[in-house]
């Protein structure tokens, strides 16, 4: 199995994923390295600020720095050979560098979602889901979208100072919705994005099947999101469903829980979506 070495520019910690403002690119890359480790790849990572000796120890790294200075960082080596410089590769590129099969890239999607939400500083959950949906692992229409709304809104509430977020809460939120199968909208009249809205309200209110108003609110939230998605018309578009669920969430939270969390969805995927509804979709920007 391959060995990958990452030589980072000077950062405050080994991964750069810390502090009040976290670069989501670094959060994604950290998750991608964890995924590589799970596939059996040996991963070593060195930070210029904390481990300068490791940079001086490698002849190929010293040569790159002498030619281009720190502009060559991050420097990515696979089995002692430079495969990328000056930017963090995507998971797809890392898989190619390490000769991994494409289908293996789907193994850890929930962790990618969690890492991006955990590291985000955005207060608009629409911006958070767009960042996640731009990840190379994300398929245009897939059940991957069924786990986005709940953790993205929880992260945005935290970033807005409206609700604290315990470290384990994102993982818990994802676990609630990640088993929703593909095609539920057509087969059962349900949508994973709408279920996410109910799961979110359940988490925020502490709802259980034994509670009164809390249970009703969770059911009502899902119902309102599902109605909005139904009224948008078909065929399905997972991106549109996520945006509609987020808009429903925003209005519901303000009305029922007095949490003011504005959302401004903007679709950046029309050019890649062969089934785009174009002018039939209110998020279409041409």
What percentage of residues in the chain have a pLDDT greater than 70?
A: 94
76, 197: one domain:
no
- Whole-number average pLDDT of the chain: 89
Check if the beta carbon of residue 112 is closer than 8 Å to that of residue 120: no
Contact partners, residue 203, CB within 8 Å, separation at least 6 = 150, 154, 169, 172, 173, 176
- 243 lies in a domain? yes
Q: Alpha-carbon distance 257 to 246, whole Å?
A: 15
Question: What confidence score (pLDDT) does residue 101 get?
Answer: 63
Q: How many domains does the chain have?
A: 2
Q: Report the range of poorest mean pLDDT among 27-36, 47-56, 161-170, 256-265.
A: 27-36
- 286 lies in a domain? no
- 201 lies in a domain? yes
Q: Is the pLDDT of residue 21 over 60?
A: no
Q: Alpha-carbon distance 92 to 272, whole Å?
A: 17
Starting at the edge strand that comes first in sequence, how are the strands of the sheet with 3-8 ordered? 42-47, 3-8, 75-78, 81-85
Q: Is the pLDDT of residue 69 over 80?
A: yes
43, 139: one domain:
no
pLDDT tens digits, one per residue of 109-148: 898 899 899 888 999 999 999 999 988 778 888 889 999 9
Contact partners, residue 277, CB within 8 Å, separation at least 6 = 233, 235, 237, 240, 284
Check if the beta carbon of residue 185 is closer than 8 Å to that of residue 233: no
- 285 lies in a domain? no
82, 221: one domain:
no
210, 132: one domain:
yes
71, 212: one domain:
no
Q: What are the residues facing 8 on neighbouring strands?
A: 47
pLDDT tens digits, one per residue of 197-215: 999 999 999 999 999 999 9
- 153 lies in a domain? yes
Of 100, 118, 150, the residue that ends a domain is 100
Of 53, 71, 100, the residue that ends a domain is 100
Domain range for 275: 108-280
93, 200: one domain:
no
- 196 lies in a domain? yes
203, 276: one domain:
yes
Check if the beta carbon of residue 107 is closer than 8 Å to that of residue 100: no
- 47 lies in a domain? yes
69, 136: one domain:
no
């Amino acid at each position: 199995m391959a060995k990958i070495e990452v030589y980072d520019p000077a950062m405050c910690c080994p991964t750069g994923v810390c502090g009040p403002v976290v670069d989501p690119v670094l959060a994604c890359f950290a998750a991608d390295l964890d995924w590589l480790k799970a596939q059996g790849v040996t991963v070593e990572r060195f930070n210029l600020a904390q481990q300068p000796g490791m940079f001086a120890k490698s002849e190929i790294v010293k040569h790159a720095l002498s030619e281009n200075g720190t502009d060559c960082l991050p420097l990515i080596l696979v089995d002692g050979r430079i495969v990328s410089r000056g930017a963090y590769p995507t998971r797809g590129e890392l898989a190619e560098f390490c000769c991994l099969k494409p289908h293996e890239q789907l193994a850890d999607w929930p962790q990618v979602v969690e890492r991006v939400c955990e590291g985000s500083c955005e207060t608009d959950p629409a911006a958070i889901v767009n960042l996640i949906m731009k990840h190379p692992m994300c398929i245009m229409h897939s059940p991957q979208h069924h786990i986005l709304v709940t953790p993205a809104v929880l992260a945005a509430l935290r970033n807005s100072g409206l609700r604290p977020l315990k470290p384990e809460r994102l993982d818990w939120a994802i676990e609630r919705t990640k088993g929703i199968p593909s095609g539920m909208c057509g087969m059962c009249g349900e949508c994973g994005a709408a279920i996410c809205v109910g799961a979110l309200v359940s988490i925020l209110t502490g709802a259980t099947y034994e509670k009164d108003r809390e249970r009703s609110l969770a059911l009502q939230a899902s119902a309102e999101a599902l109605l909005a998605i139904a009224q948008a018309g078909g065929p399905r578009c997972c991106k549109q469903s996520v945006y509609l669920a987020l808009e429903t969430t925003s209005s519901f939270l303000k009305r029922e829980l007095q949490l003011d969390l504005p959302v401004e969805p903007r679709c950046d995927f029309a050019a890649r979506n062969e089934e785009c509804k174009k002018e039939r979709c209110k998020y279409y920007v041409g």
